[in-house]
Structure 1
Amino acid sequence: MKFTLSWLKQPLETEATLDEIVERLTMLGLEVEGVEDPAKKLGVFTVAKVLEAKPHPDADKLQVLKVEALVEGEVKQLQVVCGAPNARAGLTGVFAPPGATIPANGMVLKPTKIRGVESNGMMCSERELELSDEHEGIIDLKGDWKVGTPAAEVLGRNDPVIEIAITPNRPDCLGVYGVARDLAAAGLGRLREGNFPPVQGKFESPIGIKLEFPSGAENACPVFAGRLIRGVKNGPSPDWLQNWLKAVGLRPINALVDITNFISLDRGRPLHVYDASKLTGDIRARLGREGEKLVALDGKTYDVKPDYCVIADDARVLGLAGVMGGEESGSTAETVDVFIESAYFDPYRTARTGRDTGIISDARYRFERGVDPQFVRPGLELATKMILEFCGGEPSNIVVAGEEPDTSKTIDFDPARIEKLTGLSLPQSETMRILSALGFKVLEEGSRKLSVSVPSWRPDIDGQADLVEEVVRVHGLNEVKSVALPRLHAVAKPVLSSRQRRERMARRALAARGLVEAVTWSFIPERDAVLFGGGNAAPLLKLANPISADMSHMRPSLLAGLIAAAGRNMARGFPDVGMFEVGQQFESDEPSGQVLAASGIRRGTARPQGAGRHWQGKSGPAEAMDAKADAVALLAALGAPVANFQIGADAPAWYHPGRSGVFRLGPKNVIGYFGELHPRVLDDMDVAGPIVGFEIFPDAIPEPKRKPTRAKPPLELSDLQPVRRDFAFVVSEGVTADQLLRAAKGADKKLITDVSLFDVFEGGSLGEGQKSLAIEVTLQPVEKTLTDEEIDAVSKRIVVAVEKATGGALRG
C-alpha cells in the first residue's frame, strides 16, 4: 500500500513530521517497508534561465548557451553546450551543476569541452531526471520561476511516498483514510470528516439494476447500486490527482478512470464506470453461463464459468464481479454518458474467480480481503461528486438492488482483560477514547463493563481479545513490559522424549559414517509397495485420493524411496551413492502400524572408508558387511545392547537370501535387518545393483534401565597378560557362527572376555554337509597368572559347551 505524505494529510490534520509518522505507523502494526523522497534525488537540480543561445562553431546540431543558474550557493552565468532542439534564449528549465549525478544513467557531470567548446553542467530533459520518457528536448517550465528555486518544488516532486505492509486482517487500511484513522487514534492528529452528503438526482435512470441469482447464491452480490451521469466531458484529471497516482505507480488515463482509482486507494472502495452508450438494456449481477466469454481491460479473453459472479447487460457479460471489467464497455475520451457501478461482492467467490482466471487487480485485492459493505452508497456519492466537479454533467437518481449485508456485531467487553492479557493498566476513559477514535461505538454498562459495537469496516474483530489488541497497539506496544516465565525447577526437566532423542542420535551417527540424509515421499507407486510387503498385501494403505498415480500407497519401507533416489542419482552420473533416512513407514492403517525406522543404503564404491578412484587402487563395491557395520554402529549409538543381539538369516524377501541377516533380542523382538538387496527387487525398480542396505527400528530397542542411586564400582583393570587359544570345530553346515560363538563365550563368563571367528572351511575331507569354524578365545586372568592345568580345564569346558549347543566336535 503506497501513498504520499500530502495525500495522507488530506484526511489527517496533523503537524507531525515524516519521521514521526513513519515511526508511529510501525508501532500501530502498519509496518513501513520503505520511504521514497524524490526531493532528495533532485536536491542539486535547480531552476535556470537561458540568456543567450548561439550555434556551435563546429557542430550543426549543437548550441552554445549562456545560462544563469545557482552554483555553490551563488547565482552565476555559465556556458553550457546543449543539443536540444527547443533550447532558446528566454527558456526557463532545470539545470544540473558540475558534480551532479544524473538519475537516469548515474553519470557524474564534470567541466569539459565538447567539440572544442567549454561546457559546464547540463540543461536536463524529463527522461534524464526520470520524470517521464520524454527526451526530445529539455524541460521548458511555464510561469515565472526564480533562478535557484529547487527543481523538486517546481516539478511537484517534493512529496515523500510511504509504502506500508498490510496484513490480511486489516482491509480497512487498504485505503488512505483507514491509515489516517489509526494515526488520529494514536494521537498524531485529527481525522477530518469522511461522510459525503447525497447528490440530488435530476432524473430517473433509464438503466435499471437487477440481481438474478439462484437460491443459495444470493450472497455473491447482496447489494448493487449505480447511477447515470449524462453530458460529461471526459478529459485529463487535475494535476494534483495525476501526481498522486503517478507517485504510487499508477498511470493516469482520463478523469473518469482516475477518479475510480483514487477512490479505491483513498477509501478502499473499488468502483467501475461504463460508457452508457455501449450498454444494452439493464445491468444485472448474476452467475456466469457456459460458453460466455469476456474481453477484459487487460486485453485478454477469458472463458466464463458457471460459478463466477459476473456483471452483464441484456446482450453480453460486462465484467467479472470484483475482479476486472470488460474492454468493450469501458469509458474513453469520447464518453458522454457514464454509468457508475458500486456493489458489494462475496470475498470467497471473488478470490476463487481471481485464482481461476489468474487475474491480479487492485479490485480483486480489496474485495477478497473484505470491502466495507456499508460504504456502497457513500462511495457512489463520492464518485458522483468528483465526476461532476471534474467533468460536469447531470446525475440521475440512484438505482439500488438488494440490501447491504448486516455485519453488526456487539461485544461485551471487560476493560480488566487488558491488564490480565498484557499487564498494562489503563484508565477506562482511555480505553473508551481509543476505541471511539477507531470507529467503535462504546457504551458503559456498569463500572466494569463496556458494550462495544464493531464498525462495518473491521471484519477482523470477533471477541474481547481483539479489542484488547486494538487498545494496546494504539496506546503503544512498547509500553508492554517483558516478563520472564516463572522457573518452576532449579534444574530444567528434559524437553525431548526418548524417541525424539533417538531420532536425533540416529541422524548424527549415520551422517558421521559418511551417509547423506535424504527426505523422500511417504507415498510410493503400487509396484514398489508390493516389492516391500505392501500393495495388495496391505490394501488399507492405498490412498483414496492420491496426488498422482505414482504416489498411490503409503510406503511399507524407507528403502523404496532411497533406492529410487539412488537410481535418479545414477542417471545423472553419480553412481557412488550412500544415503540414509529417518522417518515413518507403515504396516497398517492403525496408529500402531506407523513405525519409526532408520534406514540406509550404499551403492558402488560408497563404502565407510571412502569412495571413488585413487592412485593406490580402486575401492571395491559396497558389501553386505558394510551395511552390517553401519547398522551395528547405529545401534551402539542408540544405546542398544549390541553384545546380546542374536543374528539370524531370515531377512525379508527384499534382501538377498544368502547375504543378509536379522538382529533380534530374543526370539520375537526384531531390531532390524541388513544385507544385500535382492537383485529381483532392483530389476523391478529399474535400478542397477548391487546395493546393500539396512533397516533399524529404534522403538524396538529396550529403554535403558534407570540408573542406580548407589555409586558404580570402580573400573577394574588387570595387569596380567591375557591368554589366547584357537579352536576349530566341525559342525553341520546349518549351524551359524553366532551359535558357536555364544556357546564358547558362555563356557566361563569370568575368564573369557572375547571370542571371534577367524576362519571358515568347507569341503575336502570334512565330507558332505559339514564345515569347519575356527575361533580365537581370549582369557583374561584377574587375580593370578593361569597355570597350564587351569587353561586346559577352561579349554575342556569350551569344547563341551560347543558340542552341547551345536553338536559339533573338535577338529582333529
Structure 2
Amino acid sequence: MKFTLSWLREHLETDASVEQIADKLTSLGLEVESVDDPAEKLAPFVVAEVLTAERHPQADKLQVLQVNAGNGPLQVVCGAPNARAGMKGVFGPPGAYVPGSSFSLKVAAIRGVESNGMMCSERELELGEGHDGIIELPADAPVGERFADYAGLADPLFDIAVTPNRPDCFGVRGIARDLAAAGIGTLRPLPSTGIAAGFDNPVPIAIEDGSGCAAFAGRLVRGVRNGPSPDWLQKRLRAVGLRPISALVDVTNFFSIDRARPLHVYDAALLKGGITVRHGREGERFDALNDRSYEVVPDDCVIADDSGLLGLGGVVGGSSSGVTEGTTDVLLECAWFDPVAIARTGQRHQVHTDARARFERGVDPHELDASIDAATAMIQQLCGGEASSVTLATTPGWSEVIEPRQVTLRPERVAALSGMYVAPGEQAAILERLGFKAAGGQSWIVPGWRPDIDGEADLVEEVARVVGLDRLPSDPLPREPGVAHAVALPAQRLERRLRRLAAARGAHEAVTWSFISEADADAFGGGARVLANPISEEMKVMRPSLLPGLARAAARNLARGVGSIRLFELGRRYLVDAERPTLALLLTGDAAPRDWQSGKARAFSPYDVKAEVLALLAEGGAPTANLQLGAGAGASFHPGRSATLRLGKAELARFGELHPTLAKAFDLPPATQVAELFLDAIPAARNKGRARVAFAPPTLQPVTRDFAFVVPEALAAGDLVRAVRGADKALIADVRLFDRYQPAEGDLSLALEVTLQPNEKTLTEADLTALSNRIVAAAAKVGARLRT
C-alpha cells in the first residue's frame, strides 16, 4: 500500500515528521517497507531557459543549445524536436544521476560538439511516459530554482506492508485513523456529500441469491463530460503507481486508495437492459479491461446485462461497457461482495487487481450510501452531470452482513493477556479513537471496516498495539525446580559460529521470504513444494535455494545506488525429501575501491567467493585441506567459472559466478558471485572436549622444495596437490600451486611449492632425496611426470 504524505494529511491533521510517522506505523503493525522522497533524487535538476538553438554541424536530428540554468550560458547538445529558443525546461548538470535512464551525466563530446549536461524529458525523470520531447515549463517558471521545489514534488511516498487482517489499511483513511489513535495527530472528519437526486435511476438492478454479491448500489449520472482528470488527481495517482486514464476512471481509483472502497463505472449507453449479478454460465466469455479474455464457470460471480457478461464481480470489469471520452451517461456501481467468493474467483482466473485485493479481505458494508454519494460528488465536480436516485439491490443475507457485531472487553484482561497495565479509561479512549462504539457495560460495537475483530483477545491486541508493545516489561519466566537450562544443539552452535564469521568478514545478513515465485524457483532448479493457497503469485513456491531471495535483495540495493554488496543468509531449503539447513552468500558490485592508476574498481571474482566459502567451511570444522574441487556447480552457475567442494561423495558447497542469463533476469551485474554451503553435509567435529589444543610451535626450521610436473590437460590441479600431499602426511605441511605454464604447442606444466616440517630431527640430504622420490612417485599415480 503506497500513499504520499500530502494525501495522508488530507485525513490526518499532524505536524509529525516523516521519521516519526514511519516509526509509529511500524509499531502499530503496519510495517514501513520504504519511504521515498522524489525531491531527493531530483535535487540536482533545475529550471532552465533555452537562449539559442542551432542545428548540430554533424547531425541533422541534433541541436546545439545555449542554456541558462541560473549561472550563465552552458552549451548542451539536445535531440528533442521541441527544443527551441525562448522555452523553459528542466536541466540536469554534469554529475546528476538521471533516474529514468540509470546513468550519471558528465561533460562529453557528442558528434564532435561538447555537451555540458542535458535537457530532460518526463520519462528520464520518472514523471511520466512522455519521451517525444523535453519537458516544457510555463514562461513564468523561475530560472535556476530547483525543479522539485517548483513542481511541488517534495512529497515523501510511504510504502507499507499491510497484513491480510487489516483491509481498512488498504485505504489512506484507515492508516490515518490508526495514527490518530496512537497520538500522531487528529483524524479529520469526512466532508458531507449529500446528493440531490434529479430523477429516478432508470437502470434496473437485480442480484441472484448465492451469487457472491449481497448488495449492489447503482446511480446514473447523465450529461457528464469525460476527459483527462485535473493535475492534482493525476499527480496523486501517479505517485502511488497508478496510471491516470480519464476523469471517471480516476475517480474510482482515487476512492480505492483513499478509502479502501473499490467502485466501478459503466457507460450507460452501452448497457442492454438492466444489471444482473448472477452465477456464470458454461461457455460464457468476455473481454476484460486488462486486455485479456476470460471464460467463466458456474461458480464465478459475474455482472451481466441482457446482451451478456460485463465483468467478474469485484475482480475485473469488461471492455464492452467501459467508459470513453465520448461517454455522456455513466452508471456508478458501489457493491459488497463475499470475500471468499472473490478470492476463489480471482485465484481461479489468476487475476490480480486492486479491487480484488480489497474485496477478498473485506470492505466496510455499512458505508455504501456514503461512498456512492462521495464518488458522485467528485464526478459532478470534475465532469458535471445530473445524478439520479440510488437503486440498492440486496439478498436475504444482507441483513446478517450489516448486523452490528458486539464484543466484550473486561479491562483486567488487557494486563492478563498482554502483560502491560493500561488504565480502563485509556482503554476506552483508544477503542473510541479506532472507531469502536461503547454499547453499554463492557460491550463494544465493532466498526464495519474491522472484519478481523472476533473476540475479547482481539480488542486486547488493539489496545496493546496502540499503546506500543515497546512498553511491554521484559520479565523472565520463573524457572521451575528441576527444569534444566536451555542448551544449544551442535547444529545451532554451528549456525551461530558461521553467522558471526560471515559478519566479521564484511557480509551483511539478509532475511528473505521462504516463499518465492514459481519463475524464481524454476531459475534455480524448480520448487518441489507448491502452496495450494498462496498469499500471492510471488509467494507460491517453497524456495529450493536461498539464492533467489538474495538476488532480489541485491538488485533492490543496487537500484538504490549501493556500490558494493556482500550479503549472506542462513536458512532452510525445501526439497522433496526434507528441509536442508544452508548458508547462501552473494557478492556483487565493486570488490574494492577504484584503483588510483586505472580509475576503475575491481569486480568480484570466483576466487573472492571461494575464499569466503573456504573460511566458512574451516570455521564449521570441515577438513578444507582434504576437500575435492569439482568443475561446474550446476545450471544456475556460469559453466566455466564455478565449482563444487566435496568430501568423498558428500557435497559441502557450490560456488562461482552466477549464470549470465540469471544475472540479467535478476537485474544483477554479470560478475555476480554466489555460493551455497550445505550445513548438514559438514562432518561433525571429532573432539568432544571443550579444552583448546595446546599451542606447540615447531622447534625445527621448515624446508621448501619446488617441483614442476608435466601433466595431462584434463588433470585438475587439486588432484595433483592432494596426491603430493599424501606422499608423506607426517612431513609435508603444505603444498601450494604457484605456476601454470603451457607454450603454444607443448605440454602443460604445473609447479608446486612443497613445505616440509621436520618434528624430530633435521632432514639430511638423503632424507630429502627419498622424500622427493616419494613425491614424484605419488604424482605419477595421477598421470604427472617430473619436468626435465
Deviation at 1:77, TM superposition (A): 2.8
Amino acid of the structure 1 residue aligned with 2:47: V
TM-score for both structures, normalised by structure 2? 0.60
Amino acid of the structure 2 residue aligned with 1:158: A
Residue in structure 1 matching 2:370, options 344, 353, 378: 378
Question: Distance between the aligned counterparts of 1:393 and 1:243, measured in 2?
Answer: 24
Question: Distance between the aligned counterparts of 1:491 and 1:474, measured in 2?
Answer: 36
Residue in structure 2 matching 1:339, options 317, 331, 336: 331
Deviation at 1:407, TM superposition (A): 3.9
Deviation at 1:301, TM superposition (A): 2.3
Residue in structure 1 matching 2:254, options 247, 262, 286: 262
Q: Is 1:157–2:153 an aligned residue pair?
A: yes
Q: Is 1:298–2:290 an aligned residue pair?
A: yes
- 1:760 aligned partner: none
Structure 2 vs 1, CA of residues 59 and 174 (structure 1 numbering), >3 Å: closer, same or farther? closer
Residue 219 of structure 2 aligns to a residue in which SS? strand
Residue 402 of structure 2 aligns to a residue in which SS? coil
Q: How does 1:602-621 map to 2 (within 5 A)?
A: none
Question: Distance between the aligned counterparts of 1:582 and 1:12, measured in 2?
Answer: 50
- 2:359 aligned partner: 367
Residue 34 of structure 2 aligns to a residue in which SS? strand
Question: Distance between the aligned counterparts of 1:210 and 1:106, measured in 2?
Answer: 53
Residue in structure 1 matching 2:97, options 98, 101, 122: 101
Amino acid of the structure 1 residue aligned with 2:127: L
Question: Distance between the aligned counterparts of 1:105 and 1:325, measured in 2?
Answer: 35
Question: Distance between the aligned counterparts of 1:339 and 1:134, measured in 2?
Answer: 32
Structure 2 vs 1, CA of residues 88 and 401 (structure 1 numbering), >3 Å: closer, same or farther? same
Q: How does 1:475-486 map to 2 (within 5 A)?
A: 475-486=467-478
Q: Is 1:414–2:410 an aligned residue pair?
A: yes
Deviation at 1:412, TM superposition (A): 2.2
Deviation at 1:200, TM superposition (A): 1.1
Q: How does 1:634-673 map to 2 (within 5 A)?
A: none
Residue 252 of structure 1 aligns to a residue in which SS? coil
Amino acid of the structure 2 residue aligned with 1:462: D
- 2:79 aligned partner: 83
- 2:25 aligned partner: 25
Deviation at 1:131, TM superposition (A): 2.5
Alignment deviations for residues 567-608 of structure 1 (CA, whole Å, 9 cap, x no partner): xxxxxxxxxxxxx9999xxxxxxxxxxxxxxxxxxxxxxxxx
Deviation at 1:156, TM superposition (A): 4.1
Structure 2 vs 1, CA of residues 104 and 433 (structure 1 numbering), >3 Å: closer, same or farther? same
**Partners of 1:195 and 1:378 within 8 A in 2:** no
Deviation at 1:2, TM superposition (A): 0.9
Question: Distance between the aligned counterparts of 2:305 and 2:61, measured in 1?
Answer: 58
Alignment deviations for residues 327-363 of structure 1 (CA, whole Å, 9 cap, x no partner): 1011111111100111111111111111111111111
Q: Is 1:430–2:422 an aligned residue pair?
A: no
Residue 125 of structure 2 aligns to a residue in which SS? coil
Deviation at 1:453, TM superposition (A): 1.1
Question: Distance between the aligned counterparts of 1:239 and 1:201, measured in 2?
Answer: 29
- 2:162 aligned partner: 166
Q: Is 1:198–2:194 an aligned residue pair?
A: yes
Residue in structure 1 matching 2:144, options 148, 160, 165: 148
Residue in structure 2 matching 1:283, options 266, 275, 291: 275
Residue 78 of structure 1 aligns to a residue in which SS? strand
Amino acid of the structure 2 residue aligned with 1:342: C
**Unpaired stretches in structure 2, ≥5 consecutive residues:** 491-531, 533-575, 580-625, 629-788
- 1:54 aligned partner: 54
- 2:36 aligned partner: 36
Alignment deviations for residues 689-734 of structure 1 (CA, whole Å, 9 cap, x no partner): xxxxxxxxxxxxxxxxxxxxxxxxxxxxxxxxxxxxxxxxxxxxxx
Structure of higher CA gyration radius: 1
Residue in structure 1 matching 2:233, options 241, 244, 247: 241
Q: How does 1:547-696 map to 2 (within 5 A)?
A: none
**Partners of 2:409 and 2:460 within 8 A in 1:** no
Deviation at 1:246, TM superposition (A): 1.1
- 1:394 aligned partner: 386
Residue 320 of structure 2 aligns to a residue in which SS? coil
**Partners of 1:156 and 1:243 within 8 A in 2:** no
Amino acid of the structure 2 residue aligned with 1:67: V
Q: Is 1:209–2:205 an aligned residue pair?
A: yes
Deviation at 1:495, TM superposition (A): 10
- 2:760 aligned partner: none
Deviation at 1:163, TM superposition (A): 0.7
- 2:480 aligned partner: 488
Deviation at 1:408, TM superposition (A): 1.3
Amino acid of the structure 1 residue aligned with 2:225: K
- 2:8 aligned partner: 8
Question: Distance between the aligned counterparts of 2:243 and 2:164, measured in 1?
Answer: 26
Deviation at 1:84, TM superposition (A): 2.7
TM-score for both structures, normalised by structure 1? 0.58
- 1:330 aligned partner: 322
- 1:763 aligned partner: none
Q: How does 1:704-783 map to 2 (within 5 A)?
A: none
Residue 430 of structure 1 aligns to a residue in which SS? helix
Structure 2 vs 1, CA of residues 202 and 484 (structure 1 numbering), >3 Å: closer, same or farther? same
| Percent identity for Structure 1 against Structure 2 | 55
Alignment deviations for residues 591-645 of structure 1 (CA, whole Å, 9 cap, x no partner): xxxxxxxxxxxxxxxxxxx9x9xxxxxxxxxxxxxxxxxxxxxxxxxxxxxxxxx
Alignment deviations for residues 676-696 of structure 1 (CA, whole Å, 9 cap, x no partner): xxxxxxxxxxxxxxxxxxxxx
Question: Distance between the aligned counterparts of 1:204 and 1:431, measured in 2?
Answer: 47
Structure 2 vs 1, CA of residues 435 and 394 (structure 1 numbering), >3 Å: closer, same or farther? same
Amino acid of the structure 1 residue aligned with 2:117: G
**Partners of 2:165 and 2:452 within 8 A in 1:** yes
- 1:177 aligned partner: 173
Q: How does 1:519-558 map to 2 (within 5 A)?
A: none
Question: Distance between the aligned counterparts of 1:60 and 1:401, measured in 2?
Answer: 65
Deviation at 1:297, TM superposition (A): 1.5
Question: Distance between the aligned counterparts of 2:116 and 2:392, measured in 1?
Answer: 65
Deviation at 1:423, TM superposition (A): 2.5
Structure 2 vs 1, CA of residues 112 and 485 (structure 1 numbering), >3 Å: closer, same or farther? same
Structure 2 vs 1, CA of residues 476 and 301 (structure 1 numbering), >3 Å: closer, same or farther? same
Structure 2 vs 1, CA of residues 57 and 482 (structure 1 numbering), >3 Å: closer, same or farther? same
Deviation at 1:81, TM superposition (A): 3.0
**Partners of 1:3 and 1:176 within 8 A in 2:** yes
Q: Is 1:474–2:466 an aligned residue pair?
A: yes
Structure 2 vs 1, CA of residues 471 and 133 (structure 1 numbering), >3 Å: closer, same or farther? same
Question: Distance between the aligned counterparts of 1:474 and 1:343, measured in 2?
Answer: 31
Alignment deviations for residues 381-405 of structure 1 (CA, whole Å, 9 cap, x no partner): 1110111000001111111112562
**Partners of 2:418 and 2:461 within 8 A in 1:** no
Alignment deviations for residues 470-516 of structure 1 (CA, whole Å, 9 cap, x no partner): 011111111112221111125518999xxx99xxxxxxxxxxxxxxx
Amino acid of the structure 1 residue aligned with 2:229: S
Structure 2 vs 1, CA of residues 121 and 331 (structure 1 numbering), >3 Å: closer, same or farther? same
**Unpaired stretches in structure 1, ≥5 consecutive residues:** 502-546, 548-579, 584-609, 613-812
Q: Is 1:354–2:350 an aligned residue pair?
A: no
Amino acid of the structure 2 residue aligned with 1:69: A
Amino acid of the structure 2 residue aligned with 1:397: S
Amino acid of the structure 2 residue aligned with 1:291: G
Amino acid of the structure 1 residue aligned with 2:49: K
Alignment deviations for residues 94-144 of structure 1 (CA, whole Å, 9 cap, x no partner): 111122222233433333444554432222222322323433322211241
Question: Distance between the aligned counterparts of 1:291 and 1:98, measured in 2?
Answer: 61
Question: Distance between the aligned counterparts of 1:374 and 1:391, measured in 2?
Answer: 27
- 2:443 aligned partner: 451
Structure 2 vs 1, CA of residues 283 and 136 (structure 1 numbering), >3 Å: closer, same or farther? closer
